[in-house]
A and B are shown apart, each in its own frame.
Chain A
Amino acid sequence: MFFHMLRQSFLEGRKRKILAAVTVALAATLITTLFTISLDVGDKMAREMKSYGSNIRVVPKSEAVPLRIGGVDYNPLKGRDYLDEADLPKMKDIFWRNNIVGLAPTLRTPVRLGEEKAVSLIGTYFDKPMPLPDDPDYRTGVRQTSGFWSVDGAWPQDDASDQALVGVTLAGRLGLTKGATVSVVDEATGTSRSFTVSGLLTTGGVEDDAVVVPLAVVQEMAGLAGKVAEVEISALTIPENELSTKARRDTEKLSTAEYDTWYCTAYVSSIAHQIEEAVVNASARPIWQVAAGEGAVIGKIQALLLVVGLAAFVSAAMGVSSMMNTTITERAREIGLMKALGAAGGEIYLLFLGEAVIVGGIGGLVGWGLGLGLAQGVGLMVFGSTVTIAWVSGPLVVLVSIAMALAGSALPARAITALMPVEVLHGRR
């Protein structure tokens, strides 16, 4: 009997039911879209934040106190410690290897350039192939780690030994342009070399006053084959929290469980820790300017999406509820008749709730499908990449939709079942 009544009600009031289901579906679309995007936005924004440059710096553990003022080195090169270039792949072979977006080593040596003394000659990777056991095509260099470097002209080839980038400030002072030739003399070893200026480099940092060439060239000129002075690593990390702050103060004080959680979470501090474990004489430190800044901003964006999502959710829920409310109050007469024919209040109540579950369920499913599509659209438009789908959103959204429909039905249904059949049938309510 119950199912018969349910079917009847759907067949009779088809149009209204469809309208209600469409409303639920729209709300569900909205919820799915926001949910999917907010889950992925941290990761997506972390990738965008890579434009601020690398967030971990690796230097030799026993490096003497560097006396560097404004990019000029006051310490002699002799007796300094270096990292081995051969150790670089190990840094990409840690637990969080997939979070390491790129790495770029540097080695600098003071050179004379015409009249100018103590100009930094910086050697680095631009976009160099660095085959790894599980990724033979891996390429890395400053073009990945320092997205803010801007080159007017062409980037040098990593295997060419006669191309160089010249910082804009230096170039302006010496009147150098693209295609000019510069010759430099190493102040310590006396080796000289000449380069073709392939492009002018603007970074807003010390590189503006320096000459940047492939790493191998500097190693050869300074007589430091296979050595690098420091490595900048760009890693995808999650914002710091209490646990990582505790770990940063003293790893020893963590309990075993806390240590495991910390170690297996992509905090900038735990990634730095794992790099130190992988390379024996390395000291890896977060560049807090980038690491902490990222955390602050990503946290804000997530909070923003969350509150916007909540506001939208409330308004959608109200829309659905009022819709259900309307469809039920309209059927007062029908209900009066049912009661007059002997239906108990509970049965009628159940009938409405059953309807709400069906309408909510169908609307939720349709809305979920639409929402996934919409989320992909947003991802492609804003970030140029697809959004990862969290399948848990499916049951979640359907449940929420049913709850919204039920919430909208419960109150009016109760009010109506309480009516006297006579009053309703007579047209007085």
Chain B
Amino acid sequence: MTLRLLVKSLLGPTSKIGVALASLAVGAAVVSALTSLYLDISIKMSEELRAFGANFMVAPLAGEAEAGAPPTVRGMATERLEAAIASVPADRLVGASPYLYGLVRLDLGNAVMVGVDFPGLRRLSPYWQVEGSWIGVAFDDRNAMIGRRLAESMALKVGDGVTLLNRAEGQQTRVTIKGIIDAGDQEDDQIFVALPLAQRLLGLAGRADFAMLSVVAQGPEADALAATMTREFPDVSARPIRKISQSDGQILGKIDGLMALVAATILVITTLCVNATLTAMVARRTPEIGLQKALGADNRAIVAQVLAETTLICLVGVVLGLVIGYGLAQVLGQAVFNAWVTFRPVVIPLTLGVSLVAALIAAVLPVRGAVRVAPARVLRGE
């Protein structure tokens, strides 16, 4: 009997089940999409924050260089640096490059030359404003990139050739300027060449001064990573660059807070909108309830019936909403971050919980009204 009543009321001609279902589904879709996005935002924004450049430095342990070693074996072996870099989980590492500094003579005067790994450097410094173009490969020994101020003072343009000379080692080579860098920092006074070329010019084969890394980690996370790396490689000192890693954490905290509040606001209001629809739906069935009471249904049966109905609609709505919401989350993820949003199972119980609570609250008021209905008055048409 109960079952038949339930089916009848849900599919009967007077039921506006479609409307309630649609609004519940939309509500659940927004809830699940926002939850998915919120759970992903920390990692996504953290990747965006990598636009601020390197946040991690790996250098030989202080003092090693001075320990009686001749200047020709300055810095440390690149293999050790690479091994240390490789210990960072691949999905966390955005970019990395070793650095080798040295003084060289250009045509018009002395300059600081930096040997780097260009593909890595490009990911480390997405903020560089480059005139001309980047050097794409790590072993290019015919091209160089030069800082804006150094280029201006040496009267160099993109496409010009310049001789790099290291008197001490008696090495020289000619390179073409492929790009001019505007960084606003000390890089503006330096000339960048591929690491193997710098090593040859400076007579420091296989060595580098230190390495810079761009890692998806902020604040305490970066400190923990540094500690792990120092423990695994006792000959290096790994430290987060405070300016970047600390600020990343601070900014992420704010974004998280903002999103949490905005999401909470949206959830509450969506819930209330769903509520209104359900309230109207139950209220419309007052005459029917009156009739049931006249036929002998007690209050408990009526309450049970309304609640069962609401729950059933809610379940169907949530299933629909989850599917739509997953799609919506992907659209949002693509629109903002150009990336897919990970599906997290925790979203399902969460959405279901929120929707059920919303629907049941929505049902409470009209149910209270329904049990107070006097059958006679309803049947008379009042």
Contacts and interface: CB of A to CB of B under 8 A. Distances in A.
B336 A315 contact: no
B28 to A, nearest CB: 10
Contact of A308 (B111, B251, B274, B332): B332
A23 interface: yes
A202 B240 CA distance: 11
B10 interface: no
Contacts of B273: 23, 26-27, 315-316, 318-320, 323
Given A41-B258, A307-B335, A307-B336, A69 B26 contact: no
A48 interface: yes
Interface string A46-67: 0011011100110000001111
A173 B242 contact: no
B101 A288 contact: no
16 contacts: A27-B269, A49-B247, A67-B110, A69-B112, A70-B209, A74-B103, A150-B242, A150-B246, A169-B62, A249-B131, A319-B273, A322-B20, A322-B22, A323-B280, A329-B16, A378-B258
A363 B22 CA distance: 22
Residue of B62, B150, B266, B273 most packed against chain A (CB within 10 A)? B273
Contacts of B29: 315
Given A300-B337, A312-B266, A65 B153 contact: yes
Interface stretch (A28-36, A125-133, A157-165, A221-229): A28-36
B173 to A, nearest CB: 20
Interface residues of A, number: 80
Interface string B245-289: 111001100110111011101100110111011011100100000
Given A26-B273, A57-B185, A311 B103 contact: no
B121 to A, nearest CB: 13
B62 to A, nearest CB: 7
Interface in B174-220: 182-186, 188-189, 209
Contacts of B45: 297, 300-301
A52 B239 CA distance: 17
Contacts of A203: 242-243
Interface residues of B, number: 84
B262 A378 contact: yes
A418 interface: no
B261 A378 contact: yes
Interface of B: 13, 16, 19-20, 22-23, 26-27, 29-30, 33-34, 37, 41, 45, 48-49, 51-53, 57, 62, 101, 103, 109-112, 125-129, 131, 149-150, 153-154, 182-186, 188-189, 209, 239-247, 250-251, 254-255, 257-259, 261-263, 265-266, 269-270, 272-274, 276-277, 279-281, 284, 328, 331-332, 335-337
A314 B129 CA distance: 40
Most chain B beta-carbon contacts within 10 A, residue among A33, A316, A327: A316
B277 A285 contact: no
Contact of A37 (B262, B274, B280): B262
Contacts of B131: 249
B30 A66 contact: no
Interface string A187-210: 000000000000000111100000
A424 B286 CA distance: 20
A253 interface: no
A134 interface: no
A374 interface: yes
A65 B258 contact: no
Nearest to B106: A65
A326 B281 contact: yes
A382 B188 contact: no
A41 B37 CA distance: 19
A151 interface: no
A248 B129 contact: yes
Contacts of B26: 314-315, 318-319
Given A311-B34, A330-B284, A67 B112 contact: yes
